[in-house]
Amino acid sequence: MKQVKCPNCGASMEIQDNRNFAFCSYCGTKIIVNEVVQINRENEINNLLNRAYEYELKHDYAKARDYCNKVLDIDSNNEFARALEKRLDSASPINNVIIKYNSLINEKFKLRITLDGITWHTIEPNGEISLCLPIGSHFILFAGRKKTYRKKIDVLDSKKTITITYIAKSWHSNEIKVE
């Protein structure tokens, strides 16, 4: 018997030596033995981190921490999981950062947001998202149509709301305002 992990959900399972494939009993993914032996755990880590971020967005910090711990079980030095762990330790129960995307040019392009090095969310034109960020410095990348803008924000008080507005003025001119 060979011990393997599902590349989709991370479930552990055994595959008989004479079998070339198996199906994950949790998510149904077909696992080919030759591919399983060469699994790059980076995909598994990214999936677990994404789940942790989803729960963080929903303010379900216990589940976010569970997924964060699963990442740290695989890679105890994972910088993203460590950063998330710190955020969870000082998480505010209220949304304290609002990111708005205002398009003055009838833009159809979704704005991609990267928070502290993790591609995190997309915003529709003239939409917004609310975040709950812990006290400290955070880096936000705004990936627009032509250019990426980087903005550092400092959350000094978890109860004070910071509003960041990305304004698409023309196809080549954009502005970021922090209030």
User: How many domains does the chain fold into?
Assistant: 3
Identify each DSSP E strand in 46-126 by its residue range. Answer: 97-103, 111-115, 118-123
> Could you tell me if 62 and 22 lie in one domain?
no
> Could you tell me if 82 and 101 lie in one domain?
no
Q: Quote the pTM value.
A: 0.49
> Could you tell me if 84 and 101 lie in one domain?
no
Measure the CA–CA gap between 63 and 78, rounded to whole angstroms: 18
- What tens digit of pLDDT does each residue of 108-166 get? 788 888 888 877 788 888 999 888 777 788 888 888 767 788 889 888 887 788 898 88
> Could you tell me if 32 and 50 lie in one domain?
no
> Could you tell me if 119 and 169 lie in one domain?
yes
For the CA atoms of 138, 144, 148, 154, what is the dihedral angle to 10 degrees?
A: -20
CATH code assigned at 157 = 2.60.40.1120
Half-sphere exposure of 16 (CA within 13 A, CB side): 2
- What tens digit of pLDDT does each residue of 60-111 get? 788 898 999 999 999 999 999 999 998 887 766 667 888 899 888 877 788 8
54: containing domain: 46-89
> Could you tell me if 153 and 112 lie in one domain?
yes
Asked if 155 and 136 touch (Cβ cutoff 8 Å), the reply is: yes
Measure the CA–CA gap between 97 and 135, rounded to whole angstroms: 11
